[in-house]
Amino acid sequence: MLDAHRLALLAEVAHAGSIAGAAQRLAFTPSAVSQQLAKLERDVGAPLLHRNPRGVTLTPVGEALLSHAETIVGELRTAERTVRALLGEEPAQLTVGTFASAGMTLVPAALAGFRRDHPAVALRLLDLEPPDGYGLVSSRDLDLLITHRYPGAPLPDPRGLTRSLLRSERFRLILPEGHPKARVRRLTLRALAGEDWISGSPGVPNRVCLDELADAAGVTLTVAYETRDYQVILALVEAGLGVAFVPESVLARVGPARIEVRDAADARPARDVFLVHHRRPGKLVTEMVERLSPR
């Protein structure tokens, strides 16, 4: 039988992306982790990871084993919680994973309300960019994951977890204050083809979405500035450097910014925001889901 501790180690290494990173998280020396992984590979009879100069990546066999490892670790933690619940002990921790823009807008109010009602529960927040994080829910490193899917991006396999649509969030077009195009009545992507755009680097969901919109409209856009951070994008637009699509919630937080908010008539993207948790969520998770859900 495979050793569960070593599988847990594999999962940790996969999430951290390097042996050293995992070792630090677990308060071990890299040597210890390396040795255990070597033994796991010997047990399995096949290499599980490619040793790259910067960190490691999983082999196909490693990938296959990882998903099992995550469910096994999750099962072990589930077992532990079941017993704790049976002994009348309240769960003392709730870990929520979010993507950055939700972490700024959607989550804080819910977290604050939760903390008020459950001062004894240790709340933890983790930043995770989609499509990551599903594995961490499987392994119960995460109790609740807030994730999203940009149009055009594939929806990850839920792997036996419960996933529910929290809301669908529109993107708005933002331009520098006083930008000439802001006065146009019917604004189109084509009309903005000559502008400098601000978006993520190629491959980032954000950018993939923008490229697909441009394709659909039959234009090519110039992305002059690449950042995935919407606060940076806002600042760049404010500074008059370009135009961008941003999620509506990002705008809700900014004060009377010096930007113009419009919609493109031929491109009205929206991203779906999902909640992901275990099949049978605990009381605390259910409550947090309640708080996050629109009234």
Partner DNA sequence: CGCTGGCCTTAGCAACGCTTACGGCTGGAG
Partner DNA sequence: CTCCAGCCGTAAGCGTTGCTAAGGCCAGCG
| Per-residue buried b or exposed e for 280-293, using 16+ beta carbons within 10 Å of the residue's own CB | ebbebbebbbebbe
Q: Which of 10, 14, 19, 214 binds DNA (CB under 7 A)?
A: 19
What CA–CA distance (Å, rounded) separates 171 from 261?
A: 10
Count of positions on this chain that bind DNA (CB under 7 A): 22
Rounded to the nearest 10°, the torsion over CA 220, 225, 230, 235 is -120
Minimum distance of DNA from residue 205's CB (angstroms): 24
Cβ nearer to a second copy, comparing 9 with 234: 9
**CA nearest to 233, candidates 257, 198, 193, 276:** 198
Q: Which of 1, 27, 86, 120 binds DNA (CB under 7 A)?
A: 27
Cβ nearer to a second copy, comparing 3 with 177: 3
| Residue whose tokens read 């009377």 | 256
Measured between alpha carbons, how far is residue 188 from residues 31, 127, 196, 226, 239 in Å? 57, 34, 15, 22, 22
* 208: helix, strand or coil: helix
Q: Given the rule CB under 7 A, which of 30-38, 121-129, 176-184, 228-236 is the region that contacts DNA? A: 30-38
Cis before 131 (ω within 30): yes
Count of positions on this chain that bind a second copy (CB under 8 A): 29
Q: Is the dihedral of CA 39, 22, 132, 166 positive or negative?
A: positive
Q: Which does 77 bind (CB under 5 to 8 A by kind): DNA, a second copy, none?
A: a second copy
- Number of other CB atoms surrounding residue 146 within 10 Å: 25
Instruction: List CB contacts of 38: < 8 A, sequence separation 6 or more.
Output: none
Minimum distance of a second copy from residue 36's CB (angstroms): 15
Q: Which of 16, 73, 250, 276 binds a second copy (CB under 8 A)?
A: 73
Minimum distance of a second copy from residue 70's CB (angstroms): 10
Q: Which of 11, 12, 14, 18 binds DNA (CB under 7 A)?
A: 18
Q: Which of 20, 47, 57, 78 binds a second copy (CB under 8 A)?
A: 78
| Residue whose tokens read 């113009």 | 260
Q: Given the rule CB under 7 A, which of 29-37, 82-90, 164-172, 185-193 is the region that contacts DNA? A: 29-37
Amino acid 37 reads: L
| Residue whose tokens read 């001062």 | 119
Minimum distance of a second copy from residue 262's CB (angstroms): 51
- For the chain, give the number of residues: 295
60 binds a second copy (CB under 8 A): yes
Q: Which does 86 bind (CB under 5 to 8 A by kind): DNA, a second copy, none?
A: a second copy
Minimum distance of DNA from residue 79's CB (angstroms): 17
* 179: helix, strand or coil: coil
Q: Which of 39, 183, 268, 283 binds DNA (CB under 7 A)?
A: 39
Q: Given the rule CB under 8 A, which of 15-23, 63-71, 165-173, 200-208 is the region that contacts a second copy? A: 63-71
Q: Which of 10, 11, 36, 102 binds DNA (CB under 7 A)?
A: 36
Instruction: List CB contacts of 28: < 8 A, sequence separation 6 or more.
Output: none
Measured between alpha carbons, how far is residue 24 from residues 36, 48, 145, 165, 269 in Å? 15, 20, 24, 35, 41
Instruction: By CB under 8 A, name the binding residues for a second copy.
Output: 1-5, 7-8, 44-46, 60-61, 64-65, 68-69, 71-73, 75-80, 82-83, 86-87
Tell me which residues touch DNA (CB under 7 A).
3, 18-21, 27-32, 34-39, 51, 53-56
